[in-house]
Amino acid sequence: MEKFLYAPEIAKLGHVSLVSADLEKSLWFFRDTIGLEETEVVDGVHYLRAWGDFEHHTLSITAGETSYIDHIGWRTKRREDVATFAKLLEDAGTEVRWIQAGDELAQGEAIRFELPSGHRFELYYDMEKTPADESRKSVLKNQTYKSWAKGVSPRRIDHVNLQTSEDNSVIVKYLQEALGFKLREYFVNPDDIPVASWLSVTNLVHDVAIISTPRSKEPNEMHHIAYWLDNAQDLLRAADILCEAEVQFVGPGKHGISQAMYIYVKDPGSGLRLEIFTNSYLIFEPDWEPVKWTYEEYLKNGSAYWGDRRRDDVVREEQVKELAKS
C-alpha cells in the first residue's frame, strides 16, 4: 500500500444537500422561518447558510419528485487530503466518484462515496467564502451577516444524525478507521450491543451521530440535521417564533447525552427533521474514553434529561425500547 507523509483529516461538517418534494414550503421553512440567508439561486438550486457560517453554503435545496438527502459534505484540513482520502478509500474497497471543480456551485474538486449504510458523503477542501451583499452585511469584520435579522436565526450548522437499519458497530468502525472520527458517547441495548453512537472530528461531542433502529425502512435514512443557537434564551425565542408560524415542534428540552438543549421541528416541504441546538460541552482531552450508556441509563436520562417527552418526534420511551431490540 502506498505510504503518505501524514494521515488525511476531516476538518469539519460543511453542508447538507437536500432534495425536497415541495420546494416552496422548504424555502418558507428554512429561509423565512428558521432564518437562513440565501447566498444564490442557480439552475433551480437554492444555496443557504446561517449568519455565522463563512462558506458559500451549509444547506442547498432543490426540487424533486421525492424528498431525500443527496449528500453530506465535509471539508478536509488540507487540499491534498481529498486525493489522499480517495486513494485510501479505494484501496479499502470503497467506490469513489470524483466531482470536478464547479460541478457544485462555489466548490472545488471533491470526491463522493457511500458509507456501508448507503449514506453518501462528499469530501472537499476548496469552497468560496462568499461575502454578504451590503444590505445584509454585518458591521463586524469577523461575521458574515447581521445577527438575528429574521426568524430563529441560528449562528451555524452543527451536526447531522443518520438513521439506519444496519449494524451500528459496522458503520462506527468505518467512520473511525476510514475517516478518522472519534467515538464520544454511545448507547447499548439490554444485550450490550451498541445501537446509537455520537462521533466527531472536532472538539464537539458530535459532528455526526448514527442510530440503528428497526423503525428504519431503509439503511440510509436521515434522523435530523442541526443548526446551532448561541444560548438557551435564543432557544426559548425560537419556540415563540415557531408558535407564531403555527409549526409544531418538540421541546424545549435537554439531552443527557451531549448535555445539549434542543427543539425538534420538521420541514413541512421535505419532512426533514431539524434540531435547533445549543449549550452542550466541548472535548479537549486527547485520551477521551467514550462514554457508555446502558439501556436503563439512556431511558432515564440519556435522551431526555428534562423537557417534553410526550410527542412522537423525539426518541421517547417506546422508541428507546425499539432501539433496544436492534
Is the domain covering 10-124 a CATH 3.10.180.10 domain? yes
For the chain, the domains span 10-124, 156-324
Q: Check the CA dihedral 251-67-320-255 and report its sign.
A: negative
The number of beta carbons lying within 10 Å of the beta carbon of residue 306 is 12
- Distances in Å between the Cα of 111 and the Cα atoms of 1, 64, 87, 88, 278 are 20, 23, 11, 12, 31
Nearest Cα residue to 130 out of 203, 39, 65, 263: 39
Q: Rounded mean pLDDT of 167-184?
A: 98
Band (pLDDT 50/70/90 cuts) for residue 314 is very low
Q: Rounded mean pLDDT of 53-67?
A: 98
Band (pLDDT 50/70/90 cuts) for residue 294 is very high
pLDDT at 4: 60
pLDDT at 301: 84
pLDDT at 307: 85
Res. 253: pLDDT tops 70: yes
pTM: 0.93
pLDDT digits 0-9 by tens, 70-113: 999 999 999 999 999 999 999 999 999 999 999 999 999 999 99
Band (pLDDT 50/70/90 cuts) for residue 304 is confident
Determine the CATH number of domain 156-324: 3.10.180.10
Tell me whether domains 10-124 and 156-324 share a fold. yes
pLDDT digits 0-9 by tens, 129-162: 999 999 999 999 999 999 999 999 999 999 999 9
Band (pLDDT 50/70/90 cuts) for residue 310 is very low
pLDDT at 1: 46
Give residue for cell 462555489. Answer: 106
Percentage of the chain lying above the pLDDT 90 cut: 86
